[in-house]
């Protein structure tokens, strides 16, 4: 353990000085307005305590006490969220122990506070990721993502800022991508008179153009501090108001202030099909990464790197954004137009591997996939028969599931797929000796042929 982490511990000694200087500059810079002495004392105390916990974590690593080391680093982050070193050590430990989802959760936490995200992300290297085994697939299986893409990416713009309508959406249109905008009805310009917020006319137009308008609650309150009657009103009234103004059904709920709680989630899912909540994401898919983008220490290189990781590891990547830095009122962790267009161009160049779609579109695919099984599969040379069954009482899907068959010969041609009643289905060679078929019916045999048998 000591040998493995030796370089890291040496770097940490240097890094600690850097974090202290950065933090002192960030919080105590004399150019900034005078900091309340009580606040300054609190920051310094938190920083010292966080450094002490980090040192303790390093000592535990040397003693091979990994569980205690993890607790120390997590606590170091709790008392002082901008502590880079604690995230980097946690990432190194989770990469070494193969706790892959924990790697992404650590990045999620880093994205939510204000450490140097670019620096932290460098702790995640491809060699370490490649050592973690991927889950094995059957001969016939339902692809995790549409058209057997390697990753799905959902862009979400929270709080309904005008700049998302005026400056972000046109860039998405250029690339023919859709995003989700979560709006707070009480803050929509018509109600608040605040030009920083978009108007109902804008969100209706966005919905008409295929962007998803999600529910971000009526007043953006912490539901954990509300009575059940209060949070139900916050959720239900907001949904009704968005639907009335956009003319579209609202499918997704975005928790304000990360105010996740089980009873609230249960209420949300009575009227929504998707919720941006850790429990819901885990239910939908086994490997998700929900990162808050933007701000000065989140470069477009980091955003592109997250895309690479998502492709390699077959993740559902949720990119949480706010608005652009173009108004006098500051957006939270703002992006620039250049960031958005450069990043989308990077994604477009890898479009064979990436499914970009709204939060509800990806969530719905994953939830239907979750409730559907391959009930029968007979594969022979040149032909196969597959039957899907659904536990959720569906006979057909609005959006097809992509079924993957591992076949021989390695590069099949003359592929055809039909339902028992003769309807032809979209089927194609999807590489690596696999055939992909888009299936939207359950309980009916699907006949697939290829090679000689297909002629
Ligand atoms: Zn918000």
Check which CATH number belongs to the domain holding 31 and give it: 1.25.40.10
In this structure, the answer to whether residues 115 and 151 fall within a common structural domain is no
| φ/ψ bin of 82: left (φ > 0), alpha (ψ from -120 to 50), beta (otherwise) | alpha
175 alpha carbon to ligand 1 midpoint, in Å?
26
In this structure, the answer to whether residues 53 and 108 fall within a common structural domain is yes
In this structure, the answer to whether residues 341 and 232 fall within a common structural domain is yes
220 alpha carbon to ligand 1 midpoint, in Å?
6
Surrounding residues of ion ligand 1, Cβ less than 5 A: 158-159, 256
In this structure, the answer to whether residues 291 and 176 fall within a common structural domain is yes
34 alpha carbon to ligand 1 midpoint, in Å?
29
181 alpha carbon to ligand 1 midpoint, in Å?
11
In this structure, the answer to whether residues 125 and 261 fall within a common structural domain is no
153 alpha carbon to ligand 1 midpoint, in Å?
20
Domains in the chain, number: 3
453 alpha carbon to ligand 1 midpoint, in Å?
56
74 alpha carbon to ligand 1 midpoint, in Å?
25
Q: Cα(269)–Cα(276) distance, rounded to whole angstroms?
A: 11
301, 332, 365 — which closes off a domain?
365
159 alpha carbon to ligand 1 midpoint, in Å?
5
Is residue 55, in this structure, part of any structural domain at all? yes
In this structure, the answer to whether residues 195 and 58 fall within a common structural domain is no
351 alpha carbon to ligand 1 midpoint, in Å?
29
330 alpha carbon to ligand 1 midpoint, in Å?
14
Are the C-beta atoms of 241 and 169 separated by less than 8 Å? no
Are the C-beta atoms of 310 and 151 separated by less than 8 Å? yes
398 alpha carbon to ligand 1 midpoint, in Å?
30
Tokens 């592929």 -> residue: 415
In this structure, what CATH number is given to the domain that contains residue 384? 2.60.40
306 alpha carbon to ligand 1 midpoint, in Å?
22
178 alpha carbon to ligand 1 midpoint, in Å?
20
What pTM value is reported for the model?
0.89
Structure tokens at 177: 């991508």
In this structure, the answer to whether residues 421 and 328 fall within a common structural domain is no
Is residue 423, in this structure, part of any structural domain at all? yes
In this structure, the answer to whether residues 302 and 434 fall within a common structural domain is no
157 alpha carbon to ligand 1 midpoint, in Å?
9
106 alpha carbon to ligand 1 midpoint, in Å?
21
322 alpha carbon to ligand 1 midpoint, in Å?
8
In this structure, what CATH number is given to the domain that contains residue 199? 3.20.20.370
Long-range contacts of 268-277 (CB under 8 A, 24+ apart): 268/235, 271/235, 271/236, 271/239, 272/215, 272/239, 273/360, 273/363, 273/364, 273/367, 274/359, 274/360, 274/363, 274/364, 274/367, 276/156, 276/252, 276/318, 276/359
Is residue 87, in this structure, part of any structural domain at all? yes
b/e per residue, 102-131, with b = 16+ CB within 10 A? bbbbbbbbbbeeebbbebbbebbeeebbee
158 alpha carbon to ligand 1 midpoint, in Å?
5
Q: What is the pLDDT of residues 206-263, one digit of tens each?
A: 999 999 999 999 999 999 999 999 999 999 999 999 999 999 999 999 999 999 999 9
Is residue 106, in this structure, part of any structural domain at all? yes
b/e per residue, 262-282, with b = 16+ CB within 10 A? eebbebbeebbbbbbbbebbe
Is residue 171, in this structure, part of any structural domain at all? yes
256 alpha carbon to ligand 1 midpoint, in Å?
5
19 alpha carbon to ligand 1 midpoint, in Å?
29
Is residue 402, in this structure, part of any structural domain at all? yes
In this structure, the answer to whether residues 281 and 194 fall within a common structural domain is yes
Q: Cα(181)–Cα(169) distance, rounded to whole angstroms?
A: 10
In this structure, the answer to whether residues 79 and 188 fall within a common structural domain is no
Q: Cα(3)–Cα(18) distance, rounded to whole angstroms?
A: 24
In this structure, the answer to whether residues 187 and 312 fall within a common structural domain is yes
H helix count then E strand count, the chain: 17, 17
192 alpha carbon to ligand 1 midpoint, in Å?
16
Is residue 291, in this structure, part of any structural domain at all? yes
Q: What is the pLDDT of residues 145-175, one digit of tens each?
A: 999 999 999 999 999 999 999 999 999 999 9
290 alpha carbon to ligand 1 midpoint, in Å?
14
Looking only at Cα atoms, what is the longest distance across the chain?
A: 82
Compute the Cα dihedral for 391, 392, 395, 400 and give only its sign: negative
322, 339, 365 — which closes off a domain?
365
In this structure, the answer to whether residues 74 and 122 fall within a common structural domain is yes
- 3 state SS of 449: strand
Q: Cα(313)–Cα(309) distance, rounded to whole angstroms?
A: 6
Domain containing 338 equals 140-365
88 alpha carbon to ligand 1 midpoint, in Å?
27
- Each of the 455 residues of the chain gets a pLDDT tens digit; together they read 444 444 444 444 444 444 444 444 444 443 444 567 888 888 888 999 999 999 999 999 999 999 999 999 999 999 999 999 999 999 999 999 999 999 999 999 999 987 899 999 999 999 999 999 998 888 999 999 999 999 999 999 999 999 999 999 999 999 999 999 999 999 998 777 788 899 999 999 999 999 999 999 999 999 999 999 999 999 999 999 999 999 999 999 999 999 999 999 999 999 999 999 999 999 999 999 999 999 889 999 999 999 999 999 999 999 999 999 876 677 889 999 999 999 999 999 999 999 999 999 999 999 999 999 998 888 888 899 999 998 766 677 778 999 999 987 666 788 999 998 899 999 999 988 899 999 988 888 999 999 864 44
Is residue 135, in this structure, part of any structural domain at all? no
282 alpha carbon to ligand 1 midpoint, in Å?
21
365, 387, 421 — which closes off a domain?
365
155 alpha carbon to ligand 1 midpoint, in Å?
14
168 alpha carbon to ligand 1 midpoint, in Å?
17
Name the β-bridge partners of 140: 405
Q: Is 398 exposed, middle or buried (0-12, 13-18, 19+ CB in 10 A)?
A: exposed
- 3 state SS of 252: strand
């Amino acid at each position: 353990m000591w040998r493995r982490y030796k370089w890291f511990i040496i770097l940490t000694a240097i890094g600690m000085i850097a974090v202290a200087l950065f933090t002192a500059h960030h919080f105590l810079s004399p150019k900034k307005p005078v900091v309340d002495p009580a606040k300054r004392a609190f920051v310094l105390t938190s920083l010292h305590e966080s450094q002490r916990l980090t040192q303790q974590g390093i000592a535990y690593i040397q003693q091979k006490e990994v569980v205690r080391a993890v607790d120390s680093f997590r606590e170091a982050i709790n008392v002082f969220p901008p502590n880079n070193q604690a995230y980097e050590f946690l990432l190194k430990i989770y990469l070494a122990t193969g706790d892959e989802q924990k790697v992404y959760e650590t990045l999620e936490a880093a994205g939510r506070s204000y450490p140097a995200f670019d620096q932290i992300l460098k702790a995640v290297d491809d060699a370490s990721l490649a050592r973690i085994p991927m889950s094995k697939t059957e001969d016939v299986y339902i692809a995790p993502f549409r058209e057997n893409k390697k990753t799905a990416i959902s862009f979400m713009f929270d709080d309904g800022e005008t700049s998302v309508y005026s400056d972000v959406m046109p860039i998405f249109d250029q690339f023919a991508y859709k995003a989700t905008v979560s709006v707070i009805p009480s803050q929509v310009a018509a109600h608040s008179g605040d030009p920083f917020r978009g108007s109902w006319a804008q969100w209706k137009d966005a919905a008409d153009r295929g962007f998803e308008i999600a529910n971000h609650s009526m007043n953006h309150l912490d539901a954990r501090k509300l009575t059940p009657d209060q949070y139900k009103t916050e959720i239900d009234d907001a949904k009704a108001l968005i639907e009335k103004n956009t003319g579209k059904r609202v499918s997704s709920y975005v928790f304000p202030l990360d105010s996740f709680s089980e009873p609230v989630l249960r209420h949300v899912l009575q009227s929504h099909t998707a919720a941006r909540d850790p429990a819901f994401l885990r239910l939908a898919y086994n490997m998700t990464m929900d990162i808050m983008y933007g701000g000065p220490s989140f470069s477009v290189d980091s955003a592109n790197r997250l895309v690479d990781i998502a492709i390699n590891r077959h993740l559902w990547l949720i990119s949480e954004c706010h608005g652009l830095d173009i108004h006098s009122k500051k957006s939270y962790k703002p992006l620039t137009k250049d960031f958005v267009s450069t990043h989308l161009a990077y994604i477009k160049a890898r479009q064979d591997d990436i499914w970009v779609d709204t939060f509800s579109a990806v969530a719905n695919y994953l939830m239907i996939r979750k409730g559907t099984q391959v009930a029968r599969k007979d594969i022979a040379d040149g032909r196969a028969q597959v039957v899907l069954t659904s536990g959720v009482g569906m006979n057909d899907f609005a959006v097809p599931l992509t079924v993957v068959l591992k076949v021989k010969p390695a590069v099949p041609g003359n592929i055809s797929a039909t339902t028992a009643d003769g309807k032809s289905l979209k089927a194609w060679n999807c590489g690596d000796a696999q055939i992909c078929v888009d299936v939207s019916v359950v309980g009916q045999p699907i006949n697939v042929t290829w090679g000689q048998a297909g002629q």
